[in-house]
Structure 1
Amino acid sequence: MDALISPDSPELDVQSLSDLAVFAKKLGKAPLQPHRRPMLGSHLTRMKGHGMEMLEVREYQASDDMRHIDWRVSAKTGQTHTRVYAEEREHSRILALDLSSQAYFGTQHTFVSTRMVQLLCLVGWRTKIQNDKVGAYLSFANKDIFLPPKNQASHFNALLTSLSDATQISHRLAQSKATSPWQSLLTRNIRHQQIIICSDKGLLREQDLEELQRLSKYNLIHWISIEDEHLDQLPEGQYRLQDMQGIQTIQITKTSMQSYKENRLIAKQKMNNQLSRIGIPFHYFALHESPVQIARHLMAFGALS
């Protein structure tokens, strides 16, 4: 597990992401009644067929499938009875990644960008193992990559390649695009999807909130934020950091650290309030948490089955 939390490099190749399939298989079962399952959007999924779990046996109705008639009970009662099964739904999930240049940083373990990619890859593998459709919209550096939801091996390999590309450190120096994943998904008229958004945005504009609200009308959205909580524990001194604007020198003092910590907590609360206002669950995690632990949390809250 240590190798998963602290990989040798923040840059993950396709093989490293493929190895996450083992962890996805061992996540266990999602609880029957999640801690919180928001009922957002319209009918989100199409029927996959009748489920394997039988709920009851009742008198036959004209609309029932004759294949489900329980002949033994019908013979005993003299009335035609049918078996009613639990509905099994076909899930279709879109993984949305929104990274700025600041996501390619971390004081311990790995980068925020790497942890987000690990998590989305776990969710992707979990979706594939359940034989459901998975798509993605990845926005990082100057790239926008859209993969429509499909259930094909070649399609999933393309997803792993794109997620691997998103971890490359060189993207720290690139100019980010102005288009957000939710804006792009909205223009594509995406509907009836479960959308998992991983973003390092610290604050949402009114335009973002309006677009997210419109997108959530026909989709079920979960927002995931991962932050490096050790940033406010840096020793005092000078630090040299490089981003798309070049190398910068930053002076860290006890006062500046305290101010940063307070501002971060205020921003997190505001983000939570913003998303709650439009009915989107906000999930916050620290960088030192394992992607497996995060995935299990999402299962407990109904964001992952």
Structure 2
Amino acid sequence: MELPAYSNGVTLGLKELLFYKQQCVAWLPPARSLWSTMAGQHQSRKLGRGMDFSEVRQYQAGDDIRTIDWRVTARTGKPHTKLFSEEREKPVVIYVDLSANMHMGSRLLLKSVQAAHIAALISWLSFTQKDRIGALIDLGDRQIEIKPKSHQSGILTMLQKMIEGQAEILQQTNRNEVNSMAESLVALNRLAPKGSEVIVISDYTRYHDDMTSLFNQLRQHNLVRLIQIYDPLERGETSFRGVESVSDSRQTRWLNFSAGKTRSGIKKAFETQKDRLELLSRTQGIPYTQLSCGLPLLTQLSGKF
């Protein structure tokens, strides 16, 4: 599998994130929606951009019959249809997890790199739709907050901060202690203006059930979406057979990948965490999607794999 354009799978560079500016045209309405492309069995409800009534005009071939204004049609004797305009300048706040837990990748990309790629695509898509874009970049021991702005400079600041944050974590010889995800959710609740679309991009290894109330608080006034980034190895998918050391932000262990018990144990831990996220999705009405870091982002979104 080839790496995405301008990417080495480990570090982040401006060219690889700017690349998604040209790619976002594929998901501009009315052709199709990025979220409908990513929708799967975990989508708990359909939520889209708000629509404001604009005007009524005479029906034209190709108009959706569901938008016919029957009162005007009855009064004039000719079919008329309602026109709507989308809400503009909606705040979009993207949470990007670049903590040490995300610095894992067994095949193609680190999880943190894939998280940055989807964050870049969503940012450019939102900018093209005239939304205001903000971000909370989680480095594990601290957060970088970027308030929603409608200028391209805001996105470029976000991309640069992700690049610098990724480099900072990679250069750490002694990993700093990773804080709870709860601290980031508190900051996210503070940062996101009411009526925002909030996209939370993480592997959720730092998510626990006691954080449900923070998600509930976030979704009360916002549209929230969950995107889980995972590595194929976390699902027990590997052709490697042998003993290797693996580590996270807390401990290092030697695992025998030749043993089916080892691979199934890894998969079971991943499925348990996925069950927690699915429960959160169902109970809170939050759409939930998964993306692998073992495949290029655009390959997954196009379904060509």
TM-score, normalised by the number of residues in structure 2? 0.75
The answer to whether the aligner puts 1:88 opposite 2:86 as a matched pair is yes
The partner residue of 1:210 within 209, 213, 217 is 213
Stretch deviating more after TM superposition (288-297 or 13-22): 288-297
Instruction: Flag the 1:6–1:180 CA change in 2: closer, same or farther, 3 A.
Output: farther
CA contact (8 A) 1:17 1:160 kept: yes
Stretch deviating more after TM superposition (13-22 or 49-58): 49-58
Q: Distance in 1 between matches of 2:55 and 2:158?
A: 29
The partner residue of 1:252 within 239, 249, 256 is 256
The partner residue of 1:181 within 180, 184, 194 is 184
* Secondary structure of the corresponding residue to residue 163 of structure 1: helix
* Secondary structure of the corresponding residue to residue 280 of structure 2: helix
2:21 aligned residue? 21
Deviations 1:128-149 (A, max 9, x none): 1222211111111323111111
Instruction: Flag the 1:171–1:279 CA change in 2: closer, same or farther, 3 A.
Output: farther
The one-letter amino acid of 2:45's match is P
Deviations 1:95-122 (A, max 9, x none): 1113431210111111011001101111
The number of aligned residues is 278
The structural deviation recorded for 1:210 is: 0.5
1:120 aligned residue? 119
Which structure 2 residue ranges, 5 or more long, are not aligned? 60-66
Which structure 1 residue ranges, 5 or more long, are not aligned? 61-72, 298-305
1:149 aligned residue? 148
1:66 aligned residue? none
CA contact (8 A) 1:96 1:136 kept: yes
1:8 aligned residue? 8
Q: Distance in 2 between matches of 1:24 and 1:230?
A: 29
Instruction: Flag the 1:269–1:85 CA change in 2: closer, same or farther, 3 A.
Output: same
Compute the RMSD of aligned alpha carbons.
3.7
The structural deviation recorded for 1:225 is: 0.6
CA contact (8 A) 1:96 1:196 kept: yes
The structural deviation recorded for 1:56 is: 5.1
* Secondary structure of the corresponding residue to residue 10 of structure 1: coil
TM-score, normalised by the number of residues in structure 1? 0.75
The answer to whether the aligner puts 1:237 opposite 2:238 as a matched pair is no
Q: Distance in 1 between matches of 2:107 and 2:35?
A: 35
1:228 aligned residue? 231
The structural deviation recorded for 1:166 is: 3.5
Higher relative contact order (CA 8 A, sep 6+): 1
The structural deviation recorded for 1:200 is: 1.3
Instruction: Flag the 1:32–1:118 CA change in 2: closer, same or farther, 3 A.
Output: closer
2:134 aligned residue? 135
Instruction: Flag the 1:52–1:174 CA change in 2: closer, same or farther, 3 A.
Output: farther
Report runs of 4+ in structure 1 exceeding 6 Å deviation. 51-54, 57-60
Q: Distance in 2 between matches of 1:27 and 1:133?
A: 18
CA contact (8 A) 1:99 1:139 kept: yes
Q: Distance in 2 between matches of 1:294 and 1:259?
A: 26
Aligned pairs for 1:273-288 within 5 A = 273-288=279-294
Stretch deviating more after TM superposition (250-259 or 22-31): 22-31
Q: Distance in 1 between matches of 2:134 and 2:44?
A: 22
Q: Distance in 2 between matches of 1:273 and 1:259?
A: 21
CA contact (8 A) 2:44 2:282 kept: no
Instruction: Flag the 1:95–1:189 CA change in 2: closer, same or farther, 3 A.
Output: closer
The one-letter amino acid of 2:102's match is A
